Amino acid sequence: MSDVYEKVMELAKRRGYVWPTSEIYGSVAGFIDYGPLGSMLKRRIEQIWRQFYVIMEGCYEIECPTIGQEAIFIASGHVKGFSDKMCQCPHCNEYLRADHVAEGGGVNGASTMKEDALSSAISGLPCPACGKVLGEVNVFQFNLMFRTMIGPGSQRVGYLRPETAQGMFTDFPRLLRFYRDKLPFGAVQIGKSYRNEISPRQGMIRLREFTQAEAEIFVHPAQKQHPNFSRYREYAFPLLSSVQQQKGDPPLMMTMGDAVRDGIVANEYVAYYLALTHELLVKIGVRPERLRFRQHLPDELAHYAADCWDAECFSDRFGWVETVGIADRTDYDLKAHSGESGQPLTVFIQYPEPRREEHRRVVARMGLLGPRFRDKAKAVADALEKATFSEDGANIRLDGQDLVIPPDCYEVRDEVVEVQGVEVTPHVIEPSYGIDRMIYAVLEQRYDEDEADGEVRKVMRLPAAVAPIQVAILPLMTRDGLDTIALDITKKLQEKGIMAEYDDSGAIGRRYRRQDEVGTPFAVTIDYDTKETGTVTLRDRDSMKQVRVAVSDLNSTINDLISGMRTFSSMV
RNA sequence: GCGAUAGUAGUCUAGCGGUAGGACAGGAGCUUCCCAAGCUUCUAGCCCGGGUUCGAUUCCCGGCUAUCGCACCA
C-alpha cells in the first residue's frame, strides 16, 4: 500500500466512489460501478461541462441511441478501420496481430491484405511468442465494436457506439435547421460509449464501457477565426508541440495568441478549445502543474485531421494520461456520411452580393438528335456537355468511339447567371472528453495525506464545486436540543438544493475525519453558544480553520463558498 | 489473450487438511466533547465451480478478478 493508485482505489471502494461491477458474481474487467459519491461527483463534473459548453458556448445537447445501425459505422470507418486482423498461434495459443507478424517476416503491404492472403503469407513464419512455425492459421477480424442484432432473427446488424460523436453527424441536417442555417454552430452529447478492448487494464483508465462528453463545432472551412478568441488570447499553459517532442524538448508555456500566430496551433478554433479545456479541467480539480497539452505527431495524426492535441493529466501510477482530445477533423466526417447516405450535408453560404458568372451551356436539339441517334440520343446529349468544339462540330466520345456531332444538332449559349451563394461542407472542430479519466485524474491528484495531532489525516481536496457532500452538519452533543437545531439547519440547507449531511455519531474529531476523507469541503458545528448567540462554527476542510457564522447567514455563506463567490480564507 | 504471482469480515491482515483470530472501520449503550479519546457490547469473512478426501478455506484442475511482464491500446 505505498502507491497512490492503491490508496485512492481503496478509498474509492470503501467510501462509495467507484468499485468493480457486480462483485457478487465476480466482476468483469473493463466495467466499473460508480457508487453513491462517485455518481454524484460524476454528475457535478458533467454539470460543469454543460455550464461551459451548453450554457456558455451555446452548443445544445442532444441524446442519441447507444446502438447504431451498421451504415453509420461503415461511413465513420469504424467497421473497417476499428478492427485488427488477428490470429491465434496453434502451438502456444497466443493471440497475435497477423499484420504485425507478416511485417516482421518481411511481407510487404500486410496491412491491406485480406484475411485469406494473410493466412497464407504468415503460415511459414515463426510465432513471435513461442518461435514455432505457425503453419495452418486462421486470420480473423477482431472488431473493437460490440456487435448486436436489431429486432428478432438476424436481419439487421447494430453496433454499440464506440463514440458519441457520430450522432452529431447523422443529425447534421436537422441541427443545421435548428440553428437556422448559419455557421458556426455546435452540438454536444454526453453519454456512454463502448469498446471491446482486448485487455483492459489500468483501473478506470481503459474501460469497455465509458462516458464521453463530445462537442462537434461546425465551422466555415475558410473562417477559422473564433469570434470570441480574445477571451483566451492571453491565456497561457504548457504546450508540447510535435516539434518540441521531436527535439526531445519539454513543453513550452505559451499564450494562445502566440501559439496561433507562430503556427503551433493550427487555428483559433483549436486554440480556443484548448484553452477552454484547460480552464474546465482546472475548475474540476485537475492540478495545473499536472496538466499539459500534447500535439499529435505527424504519424499519429489521422490523415484527414488538420491538427490534434491531447490534454494529458499526470498520474503517479500511469504517467501522462490522454484525457481529452481536441481535433480539427476538417470535412472528413460529413463527407463520409454524405457519401454513404447519399444525403447532402452542406450549408448554403450566401454571397454578400450575387456573383455574375459566365457559363457556357450546350443545348442539344433533341428534335434532330432523336431521329438520327435513336436510343443513343440521350447519351449523345449528355456527352455534348463535355464536348470539345471545332468548326466541324462537337467532338464527343461515346461507347469508346469518337464521334463528331454536326453543329446544327446543338446550340452553344454563353450566358451570364447570377449565383447567390455556394454549398459548403463545414469543417468540424471536435473536443472529446473522457469523463471517467477526468474523474480518475481528479481523485488521484486531489488525494492527500497530512498530519493532524500526530495522526495521518486522509483528505480528498476536491474543489467545493465538485464535492459530492457539500457541507456536514454536526451537533457537538446529541442532547440539550443541539441535535434538533442541527437537524433543522440541515433541512433548511437541503431545501436550497445543498447536499448537506447530518452526522451525530461519535466524537466530533472522528466526524471531521470522516468528512475529510470523502472530500466534504465544509462542516458546520452546533455547540452551546449556538443556543446563546445564534451562531455556529464553520470549518474548512483544507486548513481545518474555523469561523463563527450566524445561523441566519448560513445558507448564503455556504452557497457563496460552493460557487466560488467567496473564499474561506477571506472570512478568517 | 499468454505467462508469473495473488485472492480470508467494509478495509488491512494472521492462520490451518478437522469451517478461522486480530487491527481499523461500522451499529447500539455509557461517558467525553471542536479535530480518529475511553469502556461495554454487537454485526460481519475463507472469490466461484469441479475434483481428491471421512472431511477442503487449506491440496489439485478450471473459471473470474487483481498485480506484474509480453502482446494489444481505434
The answer to whether residue A222 sits within a structural domain is yes
Residue A27: nearest nucleotide (C-alpha to C1'): B65
Predicted confidence at residue A1, as pLDDT, reads: 39
Residue A300: nearest nucleotide (C-alpha to C1'): B74
A132 CA to B49 C1', in Å?
A: 34
Please report, as a single letter, which amino acid is at residue A40.
M
Q: What is the reported pTM?
A: 0.87
A333 CA to B61 C1', in Å?
A: 52
Number of domains in chain A: 4
Predicted confidence at residue A350, as pLDDT, reads: 85
The answer to whether residue A452 sits within a structural domain is no
DSSP H or E stretch at residue A543: none
Q: Which long-range contacts (CB under 8 A, 24 or more apart) does A557-562 make?
A: A558/A470, A558/A471, A558/A493, A558/A498, A558/A522, A558/A524, A559/A496, A559/A498, A561/A464, A561/A521, A561/A522, A562/A464, A562/A465, A562/A470, A562/A498, A562/A521
The answer to whether residue A461 sits within a structural domain is no
A504 CA to B29 C1', in Å?
A: 15
Residue A206: nearest nucleotide (C-alpha to C1'): B73
A467 CA to B42 C1', in Å?
A: 33
Examine the domain organization and report whether A294 and A189 are in the same domain.
yes
The CATH number given to whatever domain includes residue A118 is 3.30.40.230
Express each pLDDT in A329-352 by its tens digit.
999 999 999 888 888 899 888 888
DSSP secondary structure code for residue A56 in this structure? I
Q: In this complex, which residue's CA is closest to the C1' atom of nucleotide B34?
A: A508
Number of Cβ within 10 Å of residue A258's Cβ equals 17
A343 CA to B7 C1', in Å?
A: 56
Residue A203: nearest nucleotide (C-alpha to C1'): B66
Q: Which of A303, A359, A281 is nearest to A52 (CA)?
A: A281
Q: Which long-range contacts (CB under 8 A, 24 or more apart) does A337-342 make?
A: A337/A72, A337/A75, A337/A76, A337/A169, A337/A170, A337/A172, A338/A425, A339/A75, A340/A71, A340/A74, A340/A75, A341/A71, A341/A75
A244 CA to B40 C1', in Å?
A: 67
The answer to whether residue A463 sits within a structural domain is no
The answer to whether residue A153 sits within a structural domain is yes
Residue A92: nearest nucleotide (C-alpha to C1'): B2
Predicted confidence at residue A154, as pLDDT, reads: 63
Examine the domain organization and report whether A361 and A390 are in the same domain.
yes
The answer to whether residue A254 sits within a structural domain is yes
A561 CA to B47 C1', in Å?
A: 45
Examine the domain organization and report whether A508 and A559 are in the same domain.
yes
Residue A457: nearest nucleotide (C-alpha to C1'): B36
Query: Where in the sequence is the domain holding A375, given as residue range(s)?
Result: 352-420
Express each pLDDT in A350-408 by its tens digit.
888 888 877 777 777 777 777 777 777 777 777 777 777 777 777 887 777 787 877 77
Examine the domain organization and report whether A484 and A560 are in the same domain.
yes
Q: What is the pLDDT along chain A (572 residues), one digit of tens a residue?
A: 358 898 999 999 999 999 999 888 888 889 999 999 999 999 999 999 999 999 999 999 999 999 998 889 988 888 877 767 777 777 766 677 777 777 777 776 666 677 777 777 777 777 776 667 777 777 777 778 888 888 876 678 899 999 999 999 999 999 999 999 999 999 999 999 999 888 888 888 899 999 999 999 999 999 999 999 999 999 999 999 999 998 889 999 999 999 999 999 999 999 999 999 999 999 999 999 999 999 999 888 888 889 999 999 999 889 999 999 999 999 999 999 988 888 889 988 888 888 887 777 777 777 777 777 777 777 777 777 777 777 777 788 777 778 787 777 777 777 777 888 888 999 999 999 999 999 999 999 999 998 877 778 899 999 999 999 999 999 998 888 899 999 999 999 999 999 999 999 888 999 999 999 999 999 999 998 998 899 999 999 999 999 999 999 999 999 999 999 999 999 98
What is the grid cell recorded at A210? 465509458
DSSP H or E stretch at residue A73: helix A70-76
Angle between the N-to-C axes of helices A435-446 and A268-284, in degrees from 0 to 180, rounded to the nearest 10:
50
User: How many angstroms separate the CA atoms of A486 and A472, rounded?
Assistant: 10
User: How many angstroms separate the CA atoms of A277 and A73, rounded?
Assistant: 28
Contacts of A518 (CB under 8 A, 6+ apart): A15, A16, A37, A460, A468, A469
DSSP H or E stretch at residue A429: strand A427-434
A80 CA to B5 C1', in Å?
A: 38
A477 CA to B41 C1', in Å?
A: 22
Number of Cβ within 10 Å of residue A422's Cβ equals 12
**Contact in structure between A562 and A526 (CB atoms under 8 Å):** no
Chain B bases near protein Cβ (<7 Å): 1-2, 7, 10-13, 25-28, 32-37, 47-48, 63-68, 70-74
Predicted confidence at residue A101, as pLDDT, reads: 76
Q: What's the ipTM?
A: 0.87
**Contact in structure between A417 and A356 (CB atoms under 8 Å):** yes
Examine the domain organization and report whether A242 and A268 are in the same domain.
yes
Examine the domain organization and report whether A94 and A70 are in the same domain.
no
Please report, as a single letter, which amino acid is at residue A445.
Q
Residue A453: nearest nucleotide (C-alpha to C1'): B35
Q: In this complex, which residue's CA is closest to the C1' atom of nucleotide B2?
A: A94
Number of Cβ within 10 Å of residue A37's Cβ equals 21
